[in-house]
Structure 1
Amino acid sequence: MGAWSGEPFGNDVAADWAWDLEEADDWTLVRTALEDAITPDAVDERTAVIALAAAEVVAHGLGRPTQDDAYTGELSAFVSRASAPSDEIVALAIAAVERASDPDGDLALTWEECGNEAWLEAVHLLARALDA
């Protein structure tokens, strides 16, 4: 995973996934990404990264973004098209963040190898934004 920050859109996988939002006009793409992370199976690194990015989209939809920079520029346009996320989408996002950031999961282990303080801080900030 090419990462330049621990933020939800601070890596290549999330940035590439965000391209799909340019044509989306509802929450289906986000819902799918969140649901993929809360399956009973182990969550692989890529799925976890996309789930955290999708959760950040939900945070933007709630007006509580944790990352607002060039990498999240398209999110405002998406939220304008899709409107606010439903309570169900918010609940999925909360569950997906918890699952994607599991300390024994692939993504957490990857971040542990290269220093995970910034990533852990970003995940905690996102979880708080969603549950506010």
Structure 2
Amino acid sequence: MGTWSEEPFGNDTAADWAWELDEADSWAFVTDVLQGYAAGDEDDADRDAIAVAAAAVVAHGSGLPLSEEEDAESVEGFLARVGAPPASVVALARAALDKVGGDSELAELWDESDEIDDWRATLARLRDALPA
């Protein structure tokens, strides 16, 4: 996986998924990802990365500003079309971030890097932006 940043869209897999937001016209696109992730037993770093990206879209839809490192065009366009996320999607995003930050393949990969603290801070920033 090509990773250049601890930000949610800072890897090839998540960035490719985010471009698909250009075609999405409802929260169903994000909901499907988060529901599939919650139901999945497979531990796969690419699935983990997409779940983080989907949760980030929810956090941004809940008012978290996009960072300068994030490619914001697709996310901003999507949010302009669909508005704020429903509470059910927020709950799914919260659960996904908890799962990824726990015992996931992506967490294991980050544990092997010097940037683990930055990655965990990013997850916490996203999680904290989600309304309770």
- The TM-score normalised by the length of structure 1 is 0.91
Alignment-derived partner of residue 49 in structure 2: 49
Deviations 1:22-56 (A, max 9, x none): 01110111111111221251431111100100011
Counterpart code for 1:85: P
Extract structure 1 runs of 4+ deviating beyond 3 A.
65-70
User: Which ranges in structure 1 are unaligned for 5 or more consecutive residues?
Assistant: none
Alignment-derived partner of residue 97 in structure 2: 97
Q: Distance in 2 between matches of 1:57 and 1:14?
A: 11
User: Does the alignment pair 1:26 with 2:40?
Assistant: no
Deviations 1:73-95 (A, max 9, x none): 22111011111110000011001
Q: Distance in 2 between matches of 1:53 and 1:65?
A: 14
Structure 2 counterparts to residues 77-92 of structure 1, below 5 A = 77-92=77-92
Alignment CA distance shift 1:122-1:64 (3 Å):
same
Q: Distance in 1 between matches of 2:79 and 2:2?
A: 26
CA drift at 1:114: 1.6
Alignment-derived partner of residue 71 in structure 1: 71
Counterpart code for 1:15: A
* Secondary structure of 1:9's aligned partner: coil
Query: RMSD of aligned C-alpha atoms?
Result: 1.6
Number of residue-to-residue matches in the alignment: 131
Report % sequence identity: 44
- The question of whether the paired residues in 1 share the 8 Å contact of 2:59 and 2:127 is answered with no
Alignment CA distance shift 1:95-1:70 (3 Å):
closer
Counterpart code for 1:29: F
CA drift at 1:67: 3.2
- The question of whether the paired residues in 2 share the 8 Å contact of 1:61 and 1:83 is answered with yes
Q: Distance in 2 between matches of 1:122 and 1:70?
A: 12
- The question of whether the paired residues in 2 share the 8 Å contact of 1:97 and 1:123 is answered with yes
- The question of whether the paired residues in 2 share the 8 Å contact of 1:5 and 1:118 is answered with no
Alignment CA distance shift 1:32-1:77 (3 Å):
same
CA drift at 1:62: 1.1
